[in-house]
Structures are given as structure tokens and as C-alpha cells.
Amino acid sequence: MKVEQGSPPAPKADAKPMKTAAVAGKRTVVHMNDDARHCLEQPSIAEIIKCAEPYRY
């Protein structure tokens, strides 16, 4: 195994810029002013959790 010292290789011309967490985590639906009370009408705990998940954050 050969180890070379020096500067890292130059980035390729076709390299795309990395997306930031703010751009990658962008949500289209915001439930900030809504609540998940209607989810309590679901018949099982698993369905309640699935229904309420978008309202969590």
C-alpha cells in the first residue's frame, strides 16, 4: 500500500454541490397550527401513530 503526502485531488468539473440539511429536509406540508386529535378516532394504536406522525414536528 502506497501512501502519498500532498494536497487532496482537485474536484471534478462535473461535481455537484452538496445539499444542506435545510434544503434536503424541507417539507411541503406543515401542520404547525393543526393538531392530531382526529387521529384518536382510529381503531388501533398503530393507526393512531401513523396518522399523528406528520404532526409531531
55, 35 Cβ separation under 8 angstroms: yes
pLDDT beyond 80 at 52: yes
56, 47 Cβ separation under 8 angstroms: no
Ordered DSSP codes for 7-30: PPPPPPTTPPPPPPHHHHT--S--
23, 4 Cβ separation under 8 angstroms: no
Residue percentage of the chain with pLDDT more than 70 = 46
pTM of the model: 0.43
pLDDT beyond 70 at 42: yes
